[in-house]
Amino acid sequence: MRRQSIRLVPLFSCLAASLVSNPTAIAASSVTTERIIGLPNYSTSSQETPATLNGDINNSAGSGASLNGDEIINQEPEGAEGQLAVPPLEADLPITIAPDAPLPRIFYDISSAPSGVQRMHATLLEATQSGDMEKMRIAIEINELPPIIGFDEGETDPIAQLRSLSGDPEGSEILAIMNEILEAGYIIQDKGTPQELYIWPYFADYPLSRLTRPQRVELFRLITAGDYSEMQALGHYMFYRIAIGPDGTWHYFTASD
């Protein structure tokens, strides 16, 4: 099922564009650029892959920035004396994937997952197939705390929040998206650690540049070709994903990371 194209450009990109077009306003401000637009860190590791959520980007503020181990000398462009240079945004930085880096293992057989994961997966799948949004309460009430749903912190009712993510008032569209996600392959993130999670779909932790043709067909069940092009530019999957802990706790249903 093809989805409506999603907007993936973060808000800070628009703010950064505004600042670049008005360098005088930047120079006049006593607030640092990082505080204004929340710039990301500017150091990455060559071991990180764009679709892997486990790696952290190290903060290199206050020192010479480095990208994949190569030093970058910050030089003021000619004729820009006294102006505050805006560093590149994270999405603009080139991302490299080691050709021999091991790929995450993809699982399709839910019976190989812990019993708690199987139980929550079955509960969610049954609710999505019913077409009745209220049946999602069964999965929500199994948790000690409600899962994180979307990014609207103003909504306290998880069912209302799910409906707000859908293009129709009944929530059928978002149930269909959840159904397709749950029927996709999954990966195990941080296996053997206290942070272990079972993530659907596996694209959430898989380098898009290394997808096979059949895998791209799987991906296009969830997103459009236009979405795929934008995700390639960003370097990783940015659509909805579901995370379940090994004890069966439903942790989140969100888009992006």
Banded model confidence at residue 101, pLDDT cuts 50, 70, 90: confident
> Is there a domain that residue 70 lies in?
yes
More confident residue, 99 or 150: 150
Count of beta carbons in the 10 Å neighbourhood of residue 170: 12
Q: Which domain holds residue 120?
A: 110-255
**Radius of gyration from C-alpha coordinates of the chain:** 21
Query: Alpha carbon of 38 to those of 19, 31, 75, 88, 160: distances in Å?
Result: 12, 12, 22, 12, 30
pLDDT tens string 7-44: 444 433 443 444 344 444 444 443 333 333 333 343 33
Can you give the pLDDT at residue 186? Answer: 98
SS3 198: strand
208-214: Cβ within 8 A, 24+ apart: 208/50, 208/51, 208/232, 208/235, 208/236, 208/237, 209/50, 209/97, 210/97, 210/103
Taking 90 as the threshold, does the pLDDT of residue 156 lie above it? no
Can you give the pLDDT at residue 96? Answer: 43
Which alpha helices (H) appear in the chain, and where do they start and end? 11-21, 23-28, 33-37, 115-130, 136-142, 158-165, 172-182, 213-219, 225-234
Mean pLDDT is highest, among 55-69, 112-126, 141-155, for 112-126
> Is there a domain that residue 97 lies in?
no
Banded model confidence at residue 252, pLDDT cuts 50, 70, 90: very high
The stretch 129-152 carries a mean pLDDT of 90
Banded model confidence at residue 46, pLDDT cuts 50, 70, 90: very low
Domain count, the chain: 2
**Least confident span in 43-52, 106-115, 244-253:** 43-52
The stretch 68-77 carries a mean pLDDT of 43
Pairwise CA distance, residues 144 & 141, whole Å: 7
> Is there a domain that residue 3 lies in?
no
More confident residue, 57 or 130: 130
> Is there a domain that residue 100 lies in?
no
Q: Say whether both 250 and 131 belong to one domain.
A: yes
> Is there a domain that residue 4 lies in?
no
Can you give the pLDDT at residue 187? Answer: 97
Strand duo 250-255 + 148-149: pairing: parallel
- pTM value is 0.62
The stretch 167-171 carries a mean pLDDT of 94
Q: Say whether both 124 and 203 belong to one domain.
A: yes
Q: Say whether both 173 and 57 belong to one domain.
A: no
C-beta of residue 173 within 8 angstroms of C-beta of residue 167? yes
Q: Say whether both 141 and 251 belong to one domain.
A: yes
Q: Say whether both 61 and 186 belong to one domain.
A: no
The stretch 205-230 carries a mean pLDDT of 94
Can you give the pLDDT at residue 154? Answer: 61
Pairwise CA distance, residues 49 & 208, whole Å: 10
